[in-house]
Structure 1
Amino acid sequence: MGPRTDPSALRWLVGAELGRYRREALLTLTELSTRTGIGKPKLGHMETGRYQQFPEDIATVLRACGADQPAIDRLTALAGRSDAKTWWAPWAAVLPDWFKTYVGLEGLADGAFVFESMVIPGLLQTEEYAQALTLGTGFVRPDHAERFVSFRQTRARRLTDDDPLTLHAVIGEAALRLRVNGDETRRAQLRHLATMSELPNVTVQVLRPEDGPHAATPLGKFVLLDFAQVRPIAYTEVLDGATYVQDPDSVRTYSFVADNLRQVALSPAESRALIRELAGAA
């Protein structure tokens, strides 16, 4: 299994691109409606992914915005992809609504950069660590915890699929030292993290306090998702929701922060050595 299709996430991605092209053409929805003959409410729903985006409508909108034929072909082909069932559907009852969009987008992505300062990123967690963290944070209801952990483990297989996700994770040293369900759980998690960092598609760097200030200091956790057919997006979490950053200039700012973190953090080899050292001392 490679990238996992989610029809709602596909519509979201296509809609985000349509909105970008319209804004780059300096058109309002009213002006675009006049040019295309497509009603303004329908255009709005197309941009938010709430409306079925038919290839002919997508092509009409993109031509009105001055897009070239490769861009039209790319987006109409993306909109044509669909599965009978969303890959995370078996766990729909245990996932917060705001998180469903993210996991759908992650399943479609080709690459991801993740910065986590306090916990190990979800894609790199062991089952025991994930279960203890889920129960300890109250992220989901206690009676849903086991099902949520099952979802996390299935999600993590994206790193070892036939067409795996390319992941670059920068993790704060505090996450490596966080006590989660006792020493053995932490030790096993660190061993797993070191093993995963050896995969050709996974890069792990550790950011220590002594490495000095960095550009992510005011941000906390964030993710950059890269796609083969659309432009990248950034994602950040708040207490009970998420923010998706689509504006190209803002996404470039997050990319700058990611580059800064790569430079400031320990190298992948040094990071793996530190993780193994902490695993032995746990």
Structure 2
Amino acid sequence: MVIPGLLQTESYAQALTLGTGFVRPDHAERFVSFRQARAQRLTDEEPLTLHAVIGEAALRLRVNGDETRRAQLAHLAAMSELPNVTVQVLRPEDGPHAAGAIGKFVLLDFAHVQPIAYTEVLDGAMYVQDPDGVRTYRMVADNLRQVALSPAESRALIRGLAGAA
């Protein structure tokens, strides 16, 4: 329902953090600074690789007004041009997909240890380390990539929405 944290602008992250009601206003800046520090890993000298499939509703979500939304979409389009970042948009008209029942999740692959799956729950997080469980999440991720718009089509949609915001 929202842009993934590694792809958020500071103002978007700030508005989301304050909008949840779970974070005290005097702690919001710290949460946002942690998120921004993690996001810098995408542009480091040895950057992380990210493949994000984002529901179209997240692109249309009104977060702190049109200026914040427009800047967020422009940032997302720019990030999608990096060689280590792939963004695909999943639209309702693209049909059913395997993630419909589970929602947001992240697959983490590492150079020297087993991959894990991660999903947030209302009051914490759940990590899946069992290889069969991780394989199931990988199958869902593969399905999402097949159903979603291509990276080029996604970038064009994002740019169009940024101009319309």
Please classify the TM superposition score into its range, dividing by the shorter chain length: over 0.9
1:173 and 2:56 matched: yes
Shift in Å, 1:233: 0.3
CA deviations on 1:10-43 (whole Å, 9 max, x unpaired) are: xxxxxxxxxxxxxxxxxxxxxxxxxxxxxxxxxx
| Aligned twin of 1:277 | 160
1:204 and 2:87 matched: yes
Tell which deviates more after alignment, 167-176 or 139-148: 139-148
TM-score by length of 2: 0.98
| Aligned twin of 2:6 | 123
| Aligned twin of 2:28 | 145
1:244 and 2:120 matched: no
Query: Within 5 A, what are the aligned runs for 1:31-110?
Result: none
Q: Helix, strand or coil for the counterpart of 1:216?
A: helix
Q: Which amino acid letter does the alignment assign opposite residue 49 of structure 2?
A: T
| Aligned twin of 2:77 | 194
Counterparts of 2:34 and 2:139, CA distance in 1: 32
Shift in Å, 1:138: 2.3
Q: Helix, strand or coil for the counterpart of 2:98?
A: coil
| Aligned twin of 1:233 | 116
Q: Which amino acid letter does the alignment assign opposite residue 200 of structure 1?
A: P
Q: Which amino acid letter does the alignment assign opposite residue 212 of structure 1?
A: G
Query: Looking at CA atoms only, which structure, 1 or 2, has the larger radius of gyration?
Result: 1
| Aligned twin of 1:267 | 150
Q: Helix, strand or coil for the counterpart of 1:213?
A: coil
Counterparts of 1:177 and 1:238, CA distance in 2: 23
Shift in Å, 1:247: 0.8
Q: How many percent identity over aligned positions?
A: 90
Counterparts of 2:115 and 2:91, CA distance in 1: 28
Shift in Å, 1:153: 1.1
Counterparts of 1:195 and 1:187, CA distance in 2: 12
| Aligned twin of 1:59 | none
Q: 1:213 aligns with which of 65, 82, 96?
A: 96
Unaligned segments of structure 2, at least 5 residues = none
CA deviations on 1:156-194 (whole Å, 9 max, x unpaired) are: 100001111000000000000000000000000000000
